[in-house]
Chain A
Amino acid sequence: MTGEAWLQIGLLMLVVLLLAKPVGAFLARVYEFQPLFGLDKLFGPLERGIYRLCGIRMDDEQNWKQYAAACLVFNFLGFLAVYAIQRLQGSLPLNPAGMKALPPSLAFNTAASFITNTNWQNYAGESTMSYGTQMAALTVQNFLSAATGMAVLVALLRGLARKTTSGIGNFWVDVTRSVLYVLLPICVIFSLILVSQGVPQTLERYVHVKLVQPFEPAAATGAAARPGAVTSQTIAIGPVASQEAIKELGTNGGGFFNANSAHPFENPTGLSNFLEETAILLIPLAFCYTFGRMVGDTRQGWAIMAAMVILLLAFMIPCVITEQAGNPLLAKYANQRQTTLQPGGNMEGKEARFGPINSAIFVSTATGTSTGAVNSMLDSFTPLGGLFPLWLIQLSEVAPGGIGSGLYGMLMFVLVTVFIAGLMIGRTPEYLGKKIEAFEMKMASIAILVPPSLALLGAAVACVIAPGVAGIANPGAHGFTEILYAMTSQANNNGSAFAGLNGDTPFYNIVGGLIMLIARYWTIIPPLAIAGSLARKKIVPAGSGTLSTHTPLFVFVLLGIIVVVVALTFFPALALGPLAEQLQTFAGHF
């Protein structure tokens, strides 16, 4: 790995980890109803107004079933709204480009995708969605789905911190506060920073420009295709910055444009790229500190953060190395070394302003956090380079995972680790003084089981039935990787696309939509059930006989469990995809 790569990764981690503590502490204040440095004075009237309007009482504690029901109802209403807006798009305002209504299966997939914080996109934003749809349906859900994840996490943290009570907070209050005090303020600032880098924020219609040098397509596509030279171009613009900000901060990933963060209007500069990476990692990691604060032992939060960062780097670094190493088959034709004039490495499908290093860092960051954003085409990565982002998603999005969802997912693994490690010291396992028993194990098993099962089953169906195989662009091992990636991405609510697979077919739209919905809500209900069960329990005081869950040893065992229980389960499937392709294609080239 080059010095620049180390520097980039080091800088990213440094900035994120420096910000994690203050942001995490702020988040804890939000959910513990403490003063928020004037922000509560500013938004307080609005917050109270919302509660009054909706008939919500702030001190109304819900038990886990009520909390889960509120969460499901809220998300279902969101689903209806997004679906309706897409289907009625043609007759709704803010549609300067005159976009037509979306077909039902695509609208279903997109609605499922955005309410579940997946942001899988079977459409191209600039040629499908009106400004109105982008803003009222998609951007709104970017906020609300992120806030849902945050609320579920906070409920779980309360379950861990409280004792002998059934209340785990109020879903409506948690969602409102997540949006008002966390997402909205940070997004306003981040949008403005993005605008400063050149990201458009406008409701003006698309721009038609005359090409400086007319383009002759005849040579490329045959004379019959389109006679004459192309002299003008339509440049898509729109309210990009506002959507871009929440896309990263809410670990959503649904781009305004089809090319996502590879598009110069979404991610114009090296600095915007770095800031987007930072924004993606910020809140998921900061929540670890919030967790420590809320359970009264910050060491617990740091331990989990360490586990997340180690996992992320363990996949990010080899990804960077592989991409920077370039394509061995091209070695005799081109110099792929990094010089002052060229970034070197495997440049296929990458933006010149990012190069292999910042592309690999970006996609690892995005796939590690359940953010569907990409700034380069994964389909064009080397097989091994594409394996690492895929495997990061297959870890069930815990490195560090989505906003809220990453930590509650990780806590499910922590409970399993506590259970096994706790047995090894001869006690009924306890985590933070709470006994971990059959009910918690059942729920944690479901939450851990669901995403890999959906990914494996989805891919199994897609690769044997005709509508599934029909979408593959490249047959063989690469085609298999495309299917596996699509199913894995949706089953883990990541949303990033490997590309190369035509997903806008009724089969992929419906199967994918169902997978996203099942994956999201069957990983939300179990943590809430655990929150309810843990909140009712007593807290056993820690002693020298209790398992310490903040030590390097515990982090090591936790990582071991994640790798063996989830990552290795995909090993046979990966052997048929990227591994076979790598070994086959580059045989004799290492």
Chain B
Amino acid sequence: MASRKPLGLFRGDIFRRAVRDAFFKLNPRHQIRNPVMFVVLLGAILTTALLGQSLAGHGEAPPWFIFWISVWLWFTVLFANFAEAMAEGRGKAQAATLRRARRDTPAHKLSAPQRNAAATEVSAATLRKGDIILCQAGDAIPADGEVVGGVASVDESAITGESAPVIREAGGDRSSVTGGTRVLSDWLIIRVGANPGEAFLDRMIAMVEGAKRQKTPNEIALNILLAGFTIVCLLATATLLPYSIYSAAAVNAALAAAGKAMVARAVPITTLVALLVCLIPTTIGGLLSAIGIAGMDRMIQANVIATSGRAVEAAGDVDVLLLDKTGTITLGNRQAVAFHPAPGVSERDLADAAQLSSLADETPEGRSIVVLAKKKYAMRQRDIDDLGARFVPFTAQTRMSGVDLPGRPIRKGADSAVEKYVCALGGSFPPVVRSKADEISRQGSTPLLVAQGATVLGTIELKDIVKGGIRERFAELRAMGIKTVMVTGDNPLTAAAIAAEAGVDDFLAQATPETKLKLIRDYQQHGQLVAMTGDGTNDAPALAQADVAVAMNTGTQAAKEAGNMVDLDSNPTKLIEVVETGKQLLMTRGALTTFSIANDVSKYFAIIPVLFASTYPALTRLNIMDLNPQTAVLSAVIFNALIIIALIPVALRGVRYRPRPAHELLWNNIIIYGLGGLIAPFIGIKLIDLLLNTIRF
């Protein structure tokens, strides 16, 4: 696994670029997408205009005051832009690496899917879906596609970061190739699977750059809420102008009646704008898009490419994880460890039949049977063609494989499949074999039955080894409220034994693509969200049905098309990280929203006492922070702007996530971001105010 190197949070070139982009993003057409920051932008423009008026001598407040308020309002907008640009910049840096792989390479277009067909040299950009191309050693593969002929080793490091070459061949689960990778040896005939611009690499670049980023459903809902809150704040501050006009007039009338100077004045608009910007949720508003982009970014650093932000978000909601037993829960592959012959059959005969049936079986289990037979009885490997045998491949329907020797059909497969096969041929299934098979199953091993025609020869015992640490991982998931379901082709007894050993919540035994699909639908019927991984073409229906479907990069094109994420490392355990990243994304949004709203309390206390000071001097009693009336408003505005910068690391990295039950997570976040958000600004504003007064502002 070559995980992408995490980028430093503030890398020099990204930083410089982000500073520049922060200014470009002042474009109102960009800002209007974010209602909260758009209001700040309008406020900044308004105060700048008021500054002009003030400099011309008709100001509602001293020019220095309006100047500094508008400067910090502009900073608030720029800081928010900067946060977004930083998040995008990190994506762009990764996209640049990817883009180097996408060169306009010449392609050899074939007229027919044969090696010797007439070839014409065309530009890769002109290739269309369905075209047939030839790639030879040293060629860059010009487009995504499916291998229809040949076998070759391919360097996919540009996409996966993994330097070891992989084998790509026609048929089976290793037939898909990605544009931008390179053929190292031999040749491939490829049917192009995507038009220019739609290729995997293009999608990946678009995704990491955030260029095609659409708001996710949850982000839209949050935006609506924030917009609503902004409107309330807007009304609450805008109406203060008429209120204060009325109040000032009433107080002045009373003062005049008492023969005193009429000192009461309506609130300056600059101060109202400052109050508004402090009250609206600028912290979350400014960081919202950065959080979304950074979530995608974290996925990419885990070497997972999501087809949409929606998929990443859904990952956080997953209730059920369907995990393939092999490779995820158990270590690699099962190994044959013993032969258990049926009554009246010698162990050697069983081993012989087992080896014959496995000669052409390229699965790791098949190979381990050949090896065991060789080890135990020194049986040499025989060439299947010399024996005049015909290999019968495994299919999901028969759930058996085997070999047809002349007059000697040998089959091996799961007990139920073999029983069906034997009975169909008029044979019988010895009870001793059945009890042996059950015993093997109960121990968590897999019985593989061998039959020759209608006669059951015996059982091969295949052993599974559960991965270390996986049990703890599942316990964490359970604490998070996520149910784990092990999916296996094993019989129920084996499955139960391994499920118990691994600590999964449930299992699906003797799984076929149909039962898998049905299981997913059942969970979804109950309102649960299901995540799964898959690689084979027969996984495609289930992948398409699952809410979060991670396809292995080594998998087939069909699987990749059906999934909504691709794991470049092809590591099935990655699903757990995907779920955590999704949760972290939502939590970061929630935490910063809470922080933003909790911040408001202190700002009322900073600004209200000085807001109406000329009308009702008695209100200064509310100045519980003892701020200097000259600088109180400015201090609050500065705090409001700086907190955006201070929280950029949180937005980009995400809040810390530990698998905990919901109520503990809520407690922790309420304490940190709710209570913290309540108290922090009291301290922050006071400190800024002290600082402003120390430097004799």
Interfacial residues of chain A within 75-133, with CB under 8 A of chain B in the complex: none
Given the interface pairs A445-B225, A545-B481, A553-B670, the reply to whether A476 lies near B604 with Cβ below 8 Å is: no
Is the Cβ of B232 less than 8 Å from the Cβ of A428?
A: no
Interfacial residues of chain B within 639-680, with CB under 8 A of chain A in the complex: 657, 661-663, 665-667, 669-670, 673-674
What is the interface of chain B, defined by CB distance below 8 A to chain A?
Answer: 217-218, 220-222, 224-225, 227-229, 231-233, 235-247, 250-251, 253-254, 275, 313-314, 316-317, 319, 478-483, 525-528, 582-587, 589-591, 593-594, 597-598, 600-601, 604, 608, 611-612, 615-616, 618-619, 621-622, 657, 661-663, 665-667, 669-670, 673-674
Give chain A nearest CB distance to B3 CB in angstroms.
22
- Given A438-B220, A453-B235, 10 more pairs with CB closer than 8 A: A426-B316, A436-B221, A438-B224, A441-B222, A476-B247, A480-B250, A545-B662, A548-B662, A575-B622, A583-B616
Give chain B nearest CB distance to A249 CB in angstroms.
32
For B254, give the chain A residue with the smallest CB separation. Answer: A476
A380 to B225, CA, bound (A): 39
Is the Cβ of B222 less than 8 Å from the Cβ of A423?
A: yes
| 0/1 interface trace, chain A 288-305, chain B, CB 8 Å (1 if under) | 000000000000000000
A420 interface residue (CB < 8 Å to B): yes
Is the Cβ of A425 less than 8 Å from the Cβ of B665?
A: yes
Main DSSP-derived SS at the A contact region: helix
| 0/1 interface trace, chain A 452-483, chain B, CB 8 Å (1 if under) | 11001101110110000100000111011000
A538 to B524, CA, bound (A): 9
A551 interface residue (CB < 8 Å to B): yes
A453 to B527, CA, bound (A): 37
Is the Cβ of B586 less than 8 Å from the Cβ of A580?
A: no
Is the Cβ of A544 less than 8 Å from the Cβ of B478?
A: yes
Give which listed residue, A423, A452, A475, A557, contacts B586 with CB less than 8 A: A423
Is the Cβ of A569 less than 8 Å from the Cβ of B662?
A: no
For A423, give the chain B residue with the smallest CB separation. Answer: B590
Interfacial residues of chain A within 559-590, with CB under 8 A of chain B in the complex: 560-561, 564-566, 568-573, 575-576, 579-580, 583-584, 587
Residues from chain B with Cβ under 8 Å of A259 in the complex: none
Given the interface pairs A456-B239, A553-B670, A579-B622, the reply to whether A448 lies near B582 with Cβ below 8 Å is: no
Give which listed residue, B221, B244, B589, contacts A438 with CB less than 8 A: B221
Is the Cβ of A420 less than 8 Å from the Cβ of B593?
A: yes
Given the interface pairs A572-B611, A583-B621, the reply to whether A459 lies near B243 with Cβ below 8 Å is: yes
Is the Cβ of A424 less than 8 Å from the Cβ of B250?
A: no
Residues from chain B with Cβ under 8 Å of A347 in the complex: none
Residues from chain A with Cβ under 8 Å of B317 in the complex: 427-428
Is the Cβ of B661 less than 8 Å from the Cβ of A452?
A: no
Residues from chain B with Cβ under 8 Å of A422 in the complex: 590
| 0/1 interface trace, chain A 421-455, chain B, CB 8 Å (1 if under) | 11111111000010011101110011011001100
The 6 closest A-B pairs by CB, nearest first: A545-B481, A423-B590, A426-B583, A445-B228, A538-B527, A424-B590
Give which listed residue, B217, B238, B527, B673, contacts A433 with CB less than 8 A: B527
| 0/1 interface trace, chain A 542-560, chain B, CB 8 Å (1 if under) | 0111111001011011001
Is the Cβ of A576 less than 8 Å from the Cβ of B316?
A: no
Is the Cβ of A543 less than 8 Å from the Cβ of B221?
A: no
For B583, give the chain A residue with the smallest CB separation. Answer: A426
Is the Cβ of B316 less than 8 Å from the Cβ of A541?
A: no
Is the Cβ of B217 less than 8 Å from the Cβ of A547?
A: no
Residues from chain A with Cβ under 8 Å of B231 in the complex: 449, 453
Residues from chain A with Cβ under 8 Å of B528 in the complex: 540-541
Is the Cβ of B662 less than 8 Å from the Cβ of A568?
A: no
A416 interface residue (CB < 8 Å to B): yes
Give chain A nearest CB distance to B27 CB in angstroms.
26
Residues from chain A with Cβ under 8 Å of B220 in the complex: 438
A408 interface residue (CB < 8 Å to B): no
Tell me which of B245, B525, B526, B665 has the highest count of chain A C-beta atoms within 10 A of its own C-beta.
B665
A419 interface residue (CB < 8 Å to B): yes
Residues from chain A with Cβ under 8 Å of B600 in the complex: 564, 568
For A569, give the chain B residue with the smallest CB separation. Answer: B236
Is the Cβ of B526 less than 8 Å from the Cβ of A541?
A: yes
A423 to B217, CA, bound (A): 13
Is the Cβ of B608 less than 8 Å from the Cβ of A571?
A: yes
Given the interface pairs A460-B239, A477-B247, the reply to whether A543 lies near B232 with Cβ below 8 Å is: no
A105 to B401, CA, bound (A): 90
A425 to B616, CA, bound (A): 45
Given the interface pairs A545-B661, A583-B616, A583-B621, the reply to whether A421 lies near B233 with Cβ below 8 Å is: no
Is the Cβ of B589 less than 8 Å from the Cβ of A543?
A: no
A539 interface residue (CB < 8 Å to B): yes
A425 to B597, CA, bound (A): 17
Give chain B nearest CB distance to A299 CB in angstroms.
14
Residues from chain B with Cβ under 8 Å of A440 in the complex: 221
A428 to B245, CA, bound (A): 45
Is the Cβ of B235 less than 8 Å from the Cβ of A428?
A: no
Residues from chain B with Cβ under 8 Å of A479 in the complex: 250
